[in-house]
Amino acid sequence: MSVKKSRRPAQKRRPARKRKPKVSLDSKRVTVLAAVIVALCVLFLSLSFVFSRAASSSSAAKNISQKEPASVAVEPAKKLPPAKKKTEPSAKKSTSSSKKAESSDKTVSAKKSTDSAKKTDSAQKKPAAENTASSAAQNAVAKTSVSEKTAAKPSVKEQPHLASAVVPQKPVEELPDRKFNIPKAAPGAKIAFVIDDAGQSVSNLKKYTSLPFDISVAVLPGLSHTKDCAYVVRAAKKELLLHQPMQAENLNLDPGPCAIKPGMSTFEIAQIVKTNLDELGPGVKGMNNHEGSLITGNVIKIGAVLDVAAERGIYFLDSRTTAASMARQAALERDMNIKERDVFIDDIVNRDKMLEQIYRGIGIANKKGKVIMIGHVDKSAGILPQLLSELYPYLKKNGYTVTVPSRL
């Protein structure tokens, strides 16, 4: 008999469950991608920072011409923020990405994170270096613009200086040849002007002491302004003389105070001359006679005057108020040299007549090599100072030396 095997009821097969594929994350790729993303972020931030700085620097450069350059050149260096502070968010992102990677492989992710950190540091240093380079370039541009402006300023200031340097050449004008009939000077021709009778008016005296050449001034003793006039002559650095009064042959003429009279002894003559010299004070270089035709005609009396001159170390100028003067004879007896007047300028107080006398003196200077011409302070104060001032440039141009008797 066949035994029927009992069949188990067929069980329905359950559909097989779909297994989710195991996703294996490659930790190396993840860390590389994270590092790339971080680097791109850092690069983007650095580029945006550079462009923003470039825009601000261009606007600052435009304002340099309107503002003072020194402050603009310094401000960018002070306001420049450190590069490390702006790269801190990127560093945080890199640390967060490294934490995610540690879930798969801590050891590998640690190594990669250090590598990515190094890359981020290098990426941070590059924009920082670029920033410092750009700021240095901006400072250099600002400094060059400042130096150009400061260099341009002196040129603007120098222009008036150059213009003023030309000004002194304008007064140099050619003198009209026909204003004064002055011939060319003979070699070594010298002219000395002596102004007598000072001691009464200081204002008239200053017209002569203000002349731009050497003159001698003879001051009378015993007058109200004797000392004042002597001071004015010294202060003006002109040559100071004693104008010693002496009695004339005409006894009706009063020579003035402190004069030498005919009845005086040689001792009295010496004493009065010394007193008069002391009144004028220091710096007296010589003396000449005021009137005095009677005294200069006496060899003994004029000899007493010469003795005082030799004792004081000053020269004597014979005004030659008389042709019979014995001053030269008395000087020869004492082995002395004296000076002698050649021309009286203002015997006639008239410009043309005075100019004629000066022309005569110029002729003497060309013949003898020197001439002494005498004028008077108050007598011709309205003509002679101006005439001498006009003559001097022509005398100088034609080669004459205007000096004082002590240098003849």
Round to whole Å and give the CA distance between 238 and 322.
28
What's the half-sphere exposure (Cβ side, CA atoms, 13 Å) at 302? 33
pLDDT at 357: 98
Helix 27-64 vs helix 88-101: crossing angle, to nearest 10: 170
What lies within 8 Å, CB to CB, of 91 at 6+ separation is 117, 120
Helix 384-397 vs helix 202-209: crossing angle, to nearest 10: 10
Structure tokens, 143: 């400094």
Quote the Cα angle for 29-35-38, to 5°: 140
- The pLDDT profile of the chain, 408 residues, written as one tens digit per residue, is 444 555 555 555 665 565 555 555 567 777 888 888 988 888 888 888 888 777 766 665 565 555 444 443 444 444 444 444 444 444 344 444 444 444 444 444 444 444 544 444 444 444 444 454 455 445 544 444 444 444 444 444 444 443 433 444 444 456 655 589 999 999 999 999 999 999 999 999 999 999 999 999 999 999 999 999 999 999 999 999 999 999 999 999 999 999 999 999 999 999 999 999 999 999 999 999 999 999 999 999 999 999 999 999 999 999 999 999 999 999 999 999 999 999 999 999 999 999 999 999 999 999 999 999 999 999 999 999 999 999 999 999 999 999 999 999
Phi, psi angles (nearest 5°) of residue 382: -80, -10
pLDDT at 123: 43
Helix 266-280 vs helix 226-235: crossing angle, to nearest 10: 60
Quote the Cα angle for 282-377-273, to 5°: 40
Round to whole Å and give the CA distance between 327 and 159.
65
Round to whole Å and give the CA distance between 311 and 303.
12
pLDDT at 25: 56
Round to whole Å and give the CA distance between 374 and 218.
10
pLDDT at 188: 97
Looking at CATH, the fold of the domain delimited by 190-407 is given as TIM Barrel (3.20.20)
Identify which of 226, 247, 233, 221 has the alpha carbon closest to the alpha carbon of residue 194. 233
Tokens 């003196």, residue located: 361
Tokens 């001159």, residue located: 309
Phi, psi angles (nearest 5°) of residue 116: -65, -35
SS (H, E, C) the chain: CCCCCCCCCCCCCCCCCCCCCCCCCCHHHHHHHHHHHHHHHHHHHHHHHHHHHHHHHHHHHHHHCCCCHHHHHHHHHHHCCCHHHHCHHHHHHHHHHHHHHCCCCHHHHHHHHHHHHHHHHHHHHHHHHHHHHHHHHHHHHHHHHHHHHHHHHHHHHHHHHHHHHHHHHCCCCCCCCCCCCCCCCCCCCEEEEEEEEECCCHHHHHHHHCCCCCCEEEECCCCCCHHHHHHHHHHCCCEEEEEEEECCCCCCCCCCCCCECCCCCHHHHHHHHHHHHHHHCCCEEEEEEEECHHHHCCHHHHHHHHHHHHHHCCEEEECCCCCCCCHHHHHHHCCCCCEECCEECCCCCCHHHHHHHHHHHHHHHHHHCEEEEEEECCCCCCCHHHHHHHHHHHHHHCCCEEECHHHC
Round to whole Å and give the CA distance between 369 and 198.
28
pLDDT at 239: 99
Residue type, 139: N
Structure tokens, 154: 């002196």
Residue 290 vs residues 247, 299, 374: alpha-carbon distances, Å = 8, 17, 12
pLDDT at 132: 47
Quote the Cα angle for 53-56-62, to 5°: 140
* CA Rg value for the chain: 56
If one counts every other C-beta atom within 10 angstroms of the C-beta of residue 89, the result is 12
Structure tokens, 392: 């001097």
